[in-house]
């Protein structure tokens, strides 16, 4: 397996094609790879295990660097949210829209990849839960911090709250999912 | 028949139902297995409110039995003083209906789906009837 410094490597998605670009070479080394659900793991002889696909019912929802492989299990587990039927809590709660759930998945991939590529940090493993009134919760509940992101039912807006274990530090905020600055959101990392 | 509204002392408890769909059975910790969505302050024009039963007029079992399907809910409690104090800082009022124990935990500042309130309530609750 060849190791490539993260700064010199970029992954680009274009439709169903993944471009792997190595800027360290004199000429950009570009590999194009067509994705198939039957082969979710991208393996290249030059680069070794590089990235994984996450598919839901045949649709590719994202590409995950291998360092974040643990997210696949998180996503798979969260698929059960979509199976909840109307009145699933015996209190009139509605079903969950697939768009809301997809928005949560896309947010989490985007957020985790940004922390990995731009800040060299691997996020802690979160839980994805059924939230109130058709919303989706993403929770990090660790000894040193708690961080909850809520994706609203429309899949357009989100709000969050985080604090440290002693509750001497608290942060809260809201953002729109299609336009937000990730550095203004807490890092889900135990330091 | 209407019941008088009374002041709820800080030392009393409030009972709240948790549905089994809000339990993460992969978690072993009694508190952490409660999903934050279990605490659901309902948005109102002037804030948010969450219905609870005051321990003066209800037991935890009576609160459980008021559910449509009691076998599918557990019950947690909050100490009123902890709900009213830092960092939770929510208000508690007696709002009797046909159920004399009916009370509300409310906040005057509406916030979409209240992540902060839900985390704080989850943190200060205690199981009375664990599921």
Write down the ipTM of this complex.
Answer: 0.93
Listed residues A68, A88, A105: the one ending a domain: A68
Looking at residues B69-94, what average pLDDT do you find? 95
pLDDT tens column, B100-128: 999 999 986 666 678 999 999 999 999 99
Of the two residues A160 and A16, the one the predictor is more confident about is A160
Looking at residues B27-54, what average pLDDT do you find? 92
Helical spans, DSSP H, in A66-149? 70-78, 98-119
B61 domain residue, yes or no:
yes
One domain for residues A77 and A64: no
Per the CB < 8 A criterion, the answer to whether B63 and B53 are in contact is yes
One domain for residues A30 and A111: no
Q: For a pLDDT cut of 70, what percent of chain B falls above it?
A: 95
One domain for residues A54 and A36: yes
Check residue A167 and give its pLDDT: 81
- Residue numbers of the domain that contains B78: 13-29+41-129
Chain B: residue whose CA lies nearest to A85:
B21
Listed residues A21, A42, A68: the one ending a domain: A68
Q: Which of B66, B119, B122 to mutate to test the interface with A (most CBs of A within 10 A)?
A: B119
- Tell me the pLDDT band of A6, cut-offs 50, 70 and 90: very low
One domain for residues A87 and A171: yes
CB contact under 8 A, A132 and B40: yes
Looking at residues A41-55, what average pLDDT do you find? 62
One domain for residues A36 and A80: no
One domain for residues A73 and A63: no
A132 Cβ neighbours under 8 A, 6+ residues apart? A93, B37, B40, B113, B118
CB contact under 8 A, B37 and A157: no
pLDDT tens column, A124-155: 999 999 999 999 999 999 999 999 999 999 89
Listed residues A35, A53, A68: the one ending a domain: A68
Looking at residues A39-64, what average pLDDT do you find? 71
pLDDT tens column, B6-26: 999 999 999 999 999 999 999
Check residue A49 and give its pLDDT: 57
What is the number of CB-based contacts under 8 A between chain A and chain B? 70
**Which tokens in the block code for residue A79?**
């698929």
Looking at residues B75-97, what average pLDDT do you find? 94
- Residue numbers of the domain that contains A31: 1-68
Per the CB < 8 A criterion, the answer to whether A1 and A13 are in contact is no
Helical spans, DSSP H, in chain A? 70-78, 98-119
B55 domain residue, yes or no:
yes
Check residue B47 and give its pLDDT: 83
One domain for residues A117 and A38: no
Chain B: residue whose CA lies nearest to A91:
B68
One domain for residues A94 and A25: no
Looking at residues A59-79, what average pLDDT do you find? 94
Per the CB < 8 A criterion, the answer to whether A19 and A34 are in contact is no
- What Cα–Cα distance (Å) separates residue B30 from each residue in A1, B16, B25, B74, B127? 44, 16, 10, 12, 8
DSSP string, A173-190: EEEETTB--GGGS-----
What are the phi and psi torsion angles at B71 (to 5°)? -70, -10
Per the CB < 8 A criterion, the answer to whether A112 and A123 are in contact is yes
B4 domain residue, yes or no:
no
| Number of domains forming the structure of chain A | 2
Rounded to 5°, angle at Cα A129 from A66 and A86: 130
One domain for residues A97 and A135: yes
B95 domain residue, yes or no:
yes
pLDDT at A186 over 80: yes
| Number of domains forming the structure of chain B | 1
One domain for residues A177 and A132: yes
Q: In whole angstroms, give the CA distance from residue A44 to residue B80.
A: 60
Chain B residues lying within 8 Å of A90, measured CB to CB: 19, 67-69, 72-73
SS3 A22: strand
One domain for residues A36 and A47: yes
One domain for residues A176 and A82: yes
Chain A: residue whose CA lies nearest to B37:
A131
Q: In whole angstroms, give the CA distance from residue A27 to residue B11.
A: 72
């Amino acid at each position: 397996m060849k190791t490539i410094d993260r700064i010199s490597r970029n992954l680009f998605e274009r439709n169903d094609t993944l471009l792997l670009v190595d800027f360290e070479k004199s000429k950009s080394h570009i590999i194009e790879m067509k994705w198939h659900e039957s082969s979710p793991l991208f393996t290249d002889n030059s680069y070794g295990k590089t990235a994984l696909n996450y598919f839901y019912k045949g649709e590719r929802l994202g590409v995950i660097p291998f360092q974040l492989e643990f997210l696949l299990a998180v996503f798979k587990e969260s698929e059960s949210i979509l199976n909840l039927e109307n009145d699933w809590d015996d209190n009139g709660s509605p079903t969950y829209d697939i768009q809301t759930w997809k928005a949560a998945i896309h947010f989490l991939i985007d957020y985790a990849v940004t922390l990995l590529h731009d800040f060299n940090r691997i996020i802690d493993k979160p839980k994805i839960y059924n939230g109130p009134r058709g919303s989706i919760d993403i929770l990090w509940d660790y000894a040193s911090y708690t961080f909850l992101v809520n994706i609203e039912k429309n899949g357009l807006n989100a709000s969050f709250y985080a604090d440290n274990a002693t509750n001497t530090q608290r942060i809260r905020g809201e953002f729109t999912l299609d336009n937000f600055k990730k550095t203004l959101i807490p890092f889900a990392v135990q330091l | 028949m209407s019941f008088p509204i009374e002041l709820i002392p800080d030392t009393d408890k409030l009972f709240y139902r948790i549905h089994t769909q809000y339990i993460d059975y992969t978690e072993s910790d009694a508190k952490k297995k409660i999903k934050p969505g279990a605490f659901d302050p309902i948005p109102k024009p002037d804030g948010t409110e969450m219905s609870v039963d005051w321990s003066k007029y209800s037991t935890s079992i009576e609160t459980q039995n008021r559910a449509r399907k009691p076998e599918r809910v557990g019950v947690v409690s909050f100490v009123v003083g902890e709900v009213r104090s830092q960092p939770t800082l929510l208000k508690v009022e007696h709002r009797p209906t046909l159920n004399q124990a009916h009370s509300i935990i409310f906040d005057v500042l509406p916030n979409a789906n209240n992540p902060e309130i839900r985390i704080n309530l989850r943190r200060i609750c205690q199981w009375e009837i664990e599921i």
